[in-house]
Amino acid sequence: MTQAPRKSFLLILLLAYSLIVLCWGLVRNPFTTAEAKNIYIGRGLVTDGNAGWSGPVEEMMNVQPGAYSIAPLIISGVDRYAGLHGSRLVSIALGLVLVLLIFLIGDTSLYGKRGLLAATTFVFLGIPLQLSAFATTTPYTALFFAASVLLIEASAETASSGRRMLMLLFSSLSLTAAVTMNYISMLFVAPLVLYVFLRHRFLHAGGFFLLPLVAALSVYGYTAILPVWASIGRSLSLPLSHSSADMLSSLNVTYIFNWLSMPYLLAIFGIFHREGGKRAFFVMLLSFPVFLVNFMSSDLNATHLAVLLATIFMAPAAALGVDHMGDLFSSHNPMARIKPLFMFAVLLVLWVFGLQQIKELNRNNLDLTDAVSFLRARKLAGVTILIDSDYGSPEYVYRYFLESGSPPPQVLPVVRATGEERKRVVAETKPGYVVLDDYHSDRSFTLASLDYLSQGFTVAKTYQMSLSSGIKTVKIFHKGVL
Amino acid sequence: MDFSNRKVENLRRVVALLTMFITSYYLYWRYTETFNPQSLFFSWALFSAELFGAITTFLFFFTVWKPKTRTAPPSVPGRSVDVLIPTKNESVAVLRKTLLACNDLRYPHRTLVLDDGNRPEVRALSEELNCVYLARETHDHAKAGNLNYGLQHSKAEFIAVFDADHIPLPHFIDTLIGYFEDNKVGFVQVPQEFYNIDSMQHRTDWKKKTIWGEQYLFFSLIQPGKDHWGAAYFVGSCAILRRKTLDDIGGFATASITEDMLTSIKIHAKGWTSVYHNENLAFGIAAETLKPFSIQRQRWGVGNWQVFVRANPIFIKGLTLSQRLSYLSSMIYPLEGLQKLVFYLTPPAALFSGVLPMRALDVNYLLHFIPYFLFSIFGFSEMSRGVGGQILLEQYSMAKFFTYLKTLVIPFFPKKGKVFKVTPKGEEGLAPTRTLIIPQFVVLILSFTAMLWALVELLLDLRRDSFIVSVNCFWALYNSGLALAIIHFDYKKLFQRRSAFRIPDTVLASYRPAGETAASEAQLAVLDNITEEGIAMVALDQIPVGKEFEVDLMLSKPYLRLQCRVVRERSMSASPYQISHIGMRFTNISQPARDIISRYLHETAVIKFMKDYVLGYKTYIERRFGRKSRLYERAARSLAYLPVIVREGGGRHSYGAIKDISDTGLLVLSQETWALGSEITLEIVLGKERISMTGLVVRMIPRPDEIFPEYLIGVQFKEESGEKVQNLIKIAGQIGDLIFE
């Protein structure tokens, strides 16, 4: 088999592997709060044209800031006709296209035609691909972002000045689309602009990338951000003033380290690559804004997206690292087969690491199946269920699963409440069931349990859930006769 | 090596200082914050290995802080010099080359062969070559004792010492004797260079013409660095010593099997100075395989410990502080065996046990480790001035670690390993020993097994430390690669067919079938390498293995006529020609003819080919801030190995060999000179065809040699030669492919 068909064959194999991993995620991953929120936003857009968001705006901003009209519409629309798996299948298709885009970015001569290695590294890293198995805005944003990066790379290789300018224009529009999909992409706007200015002539970069970008982002800002600016301000200041959110922020930093440690490690090796070392170093520097994500949002999904975008940016640099490791580990041995052997070994390590990362990612997602099954088996018509949680917004998951009842139960959140607040909420809503979790703060969980017990609730069910932070407990309280 | 660019050198020193600062901080932080209380032994082991690395790095930076460059003073006539050649079991063939070269030394001298093997054949050789033969009845104190025995029979003012395999160039003494005009100079040392650049100690890219030598760092940088501190030391060969100095210290030191270092310490302690002249003036045979390499390094290691115990440079009287530090840095390196053992065993230990030699491999650790690591690499690369070759040095550390470990144990045994063992040379040195690569095999197998073990554990969810496993896997892979490289190199040597190194050279020859007397049957061809046993030749002809030929080597007139048999043939079709690369062995070669070839190879050809090869690389600072070399618009050149007949207007003609060819011209090697600017006709011989082209002589570089004169002539093509040139370049490319296949 000659070089080109072999490359195509290996790419098809890689895509097939990616599909298997994504489908595995589709079936195995529990329904996440982010997915539930997107579905509800989408539904709301159709029913009342007002984003359909009943929760605090700052929470909405974390999930779907600004642009409420594209991804959630698709997610909820497909969910309506094909269920959750249908929505996830759309994301999977986008994920496969993303792998292809990474291949094309890496296959530019700037990275020494290492597209296959870049795509393999990206896929084997685990987390970036797995994030495409969820019906959230992440795969949509990543797709536009990757397209923008690809267009920048491709434009630098184009001899025709006209095509170059057109590519830069589309790149800027694609980046705008990514930002409108999820404002977290803003993190990488400045590095990309800098990158374009370094790669292109000033006039081209300014006129066909920066100017359209500024114009499009201004329109976006004026129409989408400005009306909710006050809420965004609250959203930005909230994590800094709340101790629990501080903890979440530090946890997110840990996640960033966990998930980006490998791409960075590989990229560091890439710095020593004979052909692309400088480029790897440069790309690595430009990816550092990922560590600022906590200033924009303390939500784990924001961290996920930032990590994914940084990985898209760095995958070719990491591929250079794998290539250099092949050289380094083969110790410049003249035997022709040694280098591929060592590269294979590096990729094997990466593959196992990636699988572990996927498991770790899944441990971060709350698997509420047991609690939902328990509640579904109860008579819930007209009953109010309080979801007392210190993490995320699990009430949307409960709402989604319990909405088939007639009339459906009212599912209300109690977020990081004090004892007094709990008493007030219980008095006002008179819940039949309270679902209490202790995902992060064991002490408050004990106190909260006592709060509910003192108000006449009894423990109806206790579940244990394995999260990355350890074994966690979910308690369902009930008042009255079961 | 150029150390004269102050800007570059100062920047390098800044990098060195930064590296030392960052390393010190890192080690302080490691010591105070990172020890794993669950595995203190493991923590201490890794920390000690890192600490040792830092100490040797600091000592290295100190040594090479300001390397000294010297220009040889004018020669001084009328001094008496004796050349001492100690020998024990080296073959007569190896010794013969050295003695022939000693006889060719221009400066008046006597050559004394000190035979500790008491061999009649060496006595006969010495008598044949008019050298003084001396053999002791007892053989106390090995090489040092032998040299001292030679001193007893010498009254010369100066003593030149060469190992039996070290072949001096004719101007060796002339170049160095002037240094002794300074009465304080005790000895003058030059690098120990080796001509067999496919040895265990070398990594050669034949096509790119680059060489890396394991000892280049020492001879081209560390010794000049030591010279700056007045601590360049005698390395046992390729040196001239003042007799008075030797008498002052009681002769060559006998208390260690590394008599050279101990002798140097004693000389410096007595206040004598030393000179390191960084020019290759002698060429020897480097350790061919792991066996002689290990024997040599074990001897050095054990000898160093003997010196450390018996004449410790830290405590001995008379040395300056910088001399003490310089000697110390050259003495503690066998501890590297222990350091590397820790580095090789840490990844498998962590992968098998899940226990780390530090508290955590987390972001905090990486934030400290990565700057330290990057600066260590950068600092070393800069301060080693482009001859370091970190990965290759690591490979050699892998090759040596077990030998060095043995040197830590041997001093505790009464006799074992403490006797002087001569490094096997020539064919003897080619014997591979599989048992020597067992330690590398152990590292390889252990690393791979540990890696697979940990990966399977991760897959089965028996552990979750995926990042720690990955990092240790990468480290284990790195160690495996080093081990594999050494194993592969040793394995390759098992199948090495040559008995002596084939010196690359471009020499014109004519050949005709044996027994043919007709001049018309003679064909021109170009040789690409030569030994005393045979030649390799490029010919546009089909020549079967076994066929006998009469070959005229056109080294100098009269040409050397030799009977040859084809023993190897590789060919490729380059339509319409058949290009062959032919190996021929001499049959019935006379000793005088062999001697002529030997003298040509080791006194002329070796200098030519070493000049063609690039040693070292430009470091980052040098590339960025160094002097920009003047760039000439030069077309890409292809090695050609084609014969050419050059005709000048007046009907004069001569023969030459095309060295390389480009779009615009070619470079011809000829024994005759051509006037610059003259128009010439080139008849390029392609088998039985000749292609005629015209050109102008634009360069003429003489290579002065009394016996084998040669000129490098640059010819620029005239415009009309275009298509012919492209054809020739194509053929040249194919010849290159065939030779370097």
Q: Are residues A360 and A374 in the same domain?
A: no
Give the pairing type, strands B210-213 and B614-615: parallel
Minimum CA–CA partner of B396 in chain A: A331
Between positions 260 and 319 of A, the ones with CB within 8 A of B are 261-262, 265, 268
Q: Cβ–Cβ of A349/B451 closer than 8 Å?
A: yes
The sign of the dihedral angle between the CA atoms of B618, B620, B625, B629 is: positive
Higher pLDDT, B302 or B108: B108
Q: Cβ–Cβ of A330/B481 closer than 8 Å?
A: yes
Closest to A307 (Cα-Cα) out of A367, A244, A360: A360
The sign of the dihedral angle between the CA atoms of B76, B232, B287, B246 is: positive
Lowest mean pLDDT among A299-313, B443-457, B514-528: B514-528
Q: Does A412 touch chain B (CB under 8 A)?
A: no
The Cα–Cα gap between B341 and B443 comes to 9
Chain B positions contacting chain A at CB under 8 Å are 203, 362-363, 366, 370, 391-392, 394-395, 451, 455, 458-459, 461, 464, 466-467, 469-471, 473-474, 477-478, 480-482, 484-485, 488
Closest to A423 (Cα-Cα) out of A458, A388, A399: A388
Most confidently predicted of B90-104, B539-553, B632-646, B726-740: B90-104
Q: For residue A261, which residues of chain B lie inside 8 Å, CB to CB?
A: 363, 366, 467
Q: What is the CA radius of gyration of chain A?
A: 24
Residue A246 predicted with pLDDT over 60: no
3-state secondary structure of B333: helix
Any idea what DSSP says for residue B33? H
Q: Are residues A357 and A387 in the same domain?
A: no
Q: What is the mean pLDDT of chain A?
A: 82
Q: For residue A329, which residues of chain B lie inside 8 Å, CB to CB?
A: 474, 477-478, 480-481
Which phi and psi (to 5°) does residue B697 adopt?
-75, 115
- Tokens matching residue B358: 């530090």
Which phi and psi (to 5°) does residue B23 adopt?
-65, -45
3-state secondary structure of B191: coil
Residue with the two structure tokens 């594999």: B484
The Cα–Cα gap between B739 and B528 comes to 8
Residue A422 predicted with pLDDT over 90: no
Q: Look up residue A197 and give its amino acid.
A: F
Domain boundary among A364, A380, A402: A364
The Cα–Cα gap between B14 and B276 comes to 26
Partner residue facing A349 (CB), from B362, B455, B480: B455
> Does residue A413 have a cis bond before it (omega within 30 degrees)?
no
End-to-end CA distance of chain B, in Å?
Answer: 32
Higher pLDDT, B363 or A2: B363
CA–CA min distance B702, chain A (Å) = 37
pLDDT at residue B51, as a whole number? 96
Judge contact between A189 and A149, C-beta under 8 A: no
Q: For residue B469, which residues of chain A lie inside 8 Å, CB to CB?
A: 349, 352-353
Domain boundary among A342, A364, A386: A364
Partner residue facing A329 (CB), from B467, B469, B477: B477
Contacts of A477 (CB under 8 A, 6+ apart): A433, A434, A435, A436, A452, A453, A457, A458, A459, A460
Which phi and psi (to 5°) does residue A322 adopt?
-60, -40
Any idea what DSSP says for residue B632? P
pLDDT at residue B15, as a whole number? 96
pLDDT digits (tens, 9 = 90+) for B254-271: 888 888 889 999 999 999
pLDDT digits (tens, 9 = 90+) for A431-466: 888 888 776 665 567 778 888 888 888 888 888 877
- Looking at chain B, the whole-number percentage of residues with pLDDT higher than 90 is 41
Q: Are residues A309 and A453 in the same domain?
A: no
Judge contact between B376 and B19, C-beta under 8 A: yes
- H or E element: which one contains B506? strand B503-513
Q: Are residues A115 and A24 in the same domain?
A: yes
Q: Does A331 touch chain B (CB under 8 A)?
A: yes
pLDDT at residue B240, as a whole number? 95
Q: Cβ–Cβ of B474/A325 closer than 8 Å?
A: yes
Minimum CA–CA partner of B363 in chain A: A257
CA–CA min distance B517, chain A (Å) = 46
pLDDT at residue B720, as a whole number? 61
Predicted confidence band at A241 (pLDDT cuts at 50, 70, 90)? very low
- Number of Cβ pairs < 8 A linking chain A and chain B: 80
Judge contact between B712 and B556, C-beta under 8 A: no
Lowest mean pLDDT among A51-65, A355-369, B373-387: A51-65
The Cα–Cα gap between B240 and B190 comes to 9
The Cα–Cα gap between A217 and A205 comes to 16
Q: Are residues A341 and A381 in the same domain?
A: no
Closest to A377 (Cα-Cα) out of A409, A332, A338, A355: A409
Q: Are residues A356 and A408 in the same domain?
A: no
Partner residue facing B478 (CB), from A328, A338, A360: A328
Judge contact between B62 and B329, C-beta under 8 A: yes
Domain architecture of chain B: domains with CATH:
6-65+340-494 (no CATH), 81-334 (3.90.550.10), 503-611 (2.40.10.220), 626-739 (2.40.10.220)
Judge contact between A167 and A401, C-beta under 8 A: no
Q: Cβ–Cβ of B485/A345 closer than 8 Å?
A: no
Q: Cβ–Cβ of A257/B362 closer than 8 Å?
A: yes
Q: How many helices (H) and strands (E) does chain B have?
A: 21, 25
Q: What angle do CA B595, B599, B604 make, to 5 degrees?
A: 155
Q: Look up residue B492 and give its amino acid.
A: K
Between positions 348 and 407 of A, the ones with CB within 8 A of B are 348-350, 352-353, 355-357, 359-360
Partner residue facing A349 (CB), from B391, B461, B470: B470
Judge contact between B147 and B161, C-beta under 8 A: yes
Q: Are residues A212 and A308 in the same domain?
A: yes
Domain boundary among A344, A364, A384: A364
How many C-beta neighbours within 10 Å does residue A142 have? 29
CA–CA min distance B477, chain A (Å) = 6
pLDDT at residue A239, as a whole number? 43
Q: Once rounded to an integer, what is the mean pLDDT over residues A247-271?
A: 77
- Taking CA atoms, B206 is separated from B116, B359, B608, B642, in Å, by 38, 48, 15, 19
Q: Once rounded to an integer, what is the mean pLDDT over residues B504-533?
A: 82
Judge contact between A163 and A176, C-beta under 8 A: no
Q: What is the CA radius of gyration of chain B?
A: 28
Q: Cβ–Cβ of B466/A338 closer than 8 Å?
A: no
CA–CA min distance B482, chain A (Å) = 6
- Taking CA atoms, B384 is separated from A60, A198, B105, B277, B297, in Å, by 58, 33, 34, 19, 22
Q: Are residues A306 and A383 in the same domain?
A: no
Partner residue facing A345 (CB), from B395, B477, B488: B477
Judge contact between A476 and A376, C-beta under 8 A: no
Q: Cβ–Cβ of B484/A357 closer than 8 Å?
A: no
- Tokens matching residue A34: 């982010």
pLDDT at residue A285, as a whole number? 87
The Cα–Cα gap between B28 and B45 comes to 16
ipTM value for the complex: 0.84
Lowest mean pLDDT among A77-81, A177-181, B32-36, B707-711: B707-711
pLDDT digits (tens, 9 = 90+) for B325-352: 999 888 888 899 999 999 999 999 999 9
Q: Are residues A26 and A143 in the same domain?
A: yes
Judge contact between B351 and B473, C-beta under 8 A: yes
Q: Are residues A82 and A136 in the same domain?
A: yes
- H or E element: which one contains A459? strand A458-467
pLDDT digits (tens, 9 = 90+) for A137-184: 899 999 999 999 999 988 888 878 888 889 999 999 999 999 888 888
DSSP E strands, A63-213: none
Q: Cβ–Cβ of A349/B484 closer than 8 Å?
A: no
Strand order in the sheet with B158-161: B132-134, B110-115, B81-87, B158-161, B239-242, B185-189, B273-276
- Taking CA atoms, A167 is separated from A144, A152, A163, B127, in Å, by 14, 7, 6, 84
Residue B227 predicted with pLDDT over 80: yes
- Tokens matching residue B478: 């790195």
pLDDT at residue B634, as a whole number? 59
pLDDT at residue B228, as a whole number? 94
Q: Once rounded to an integer, what is the mean pLDDT over residues A58-71?
A: 56
The Cα–Cα gap between B308 and B407 comes to 13
Q: Cβ–Cβ of A353/B470 closer than 8 Å?
A: yes
How crowded is the C-beta side of B673, counted as CA atoms within 13 Å? 9
Q: Cβ–Cβ of B451/A345 closer than 8 Å?
A: yes
Judge contact between B187 and B245, C-beta under 8 A: yes
pLDDT at residue A57, as a whole number? 47
Which phi and psi (to 5°) does residue B101 adopt?
-70, -35
pLDDT digits (tens, 9 = 90+) for B665-699: 888 888 888 888 888 888 888 877 888 888 888 88
Partner residue facing B466 (CB), from A329, A348, A353: A353
Judge contact between B30 and B303, C-beta under 8 A: no
Q: For residue A355, which residues of chain B lie inside 8 Å, CB to CB?
A: 458-459
Contacts of A297 (CB under 8 A, 6+ apart): A61, A62, A184, A235, A239
- Taking CA atoms, A397 is separated from A75, A113, A440, B107, in Å, by 15, 44, 19, 97
Q: Are residues A353 and A381 in the same domain?
A: no
Contacts of A379 (CB under 8 A, 6+ apart): none
The Cα–Cα gap between B483 and B474 comes to 14
pLDDT at residue A52, as a whole number? 46
The Cα–Cα gap between B215 and B211 comes to 12
Between positions 51 and 90 of A, the ones with CB within 8 A of B are none
Could you write out the DSSP letters of every residue in A139-182? HHHHHHHHHHHHHHHHHHH---HHHHHHHHHHHHHHHHHHHHH-
pLDDT at residue A243, as a whole number? 43
- Looking at chain B, the whole-number percentage of residues with pLDDT higher than 70 is 94
Residue A66 predicted with pLDDT over 50: no
Q: What is the mean pLDDT of chain B?
A: 87
- Taking CA atoms, B292 is separated from B15, B78, B201, B296, B434, in Å, by 37, 40, 11, 6, 13
User: Which of B466, B469, B488, B617 is the best residue to mutate to test the A interface, defined by the most A CB atoms within 10 Å of its own CB?
Assistant: B466
CA–CA min distance A104, chain B (Å) = 27
User: Which of A252, A259, A349 is the best residue to mutate to test the B interface, defined by the most B CB atoms within 10 Å of its own CB?
Assistant: A349
Structural domain count, chain A? 2
Q: Once rounded to an integer, what is the mean pLDDT over residues A363-370?
A: 80
How many C-beta neighbours within 10 Å does residue B716 have? 14
pLDDT at residue B79, as a whole number? 94
Q: Are residues A298 and A373 in the same domain?
A: no
Q: Residue A100 sits in which domain range?
A: 3-364
Contacts of B502 (CB under 8 A, 6+ apart): B529, B530, B531, B536
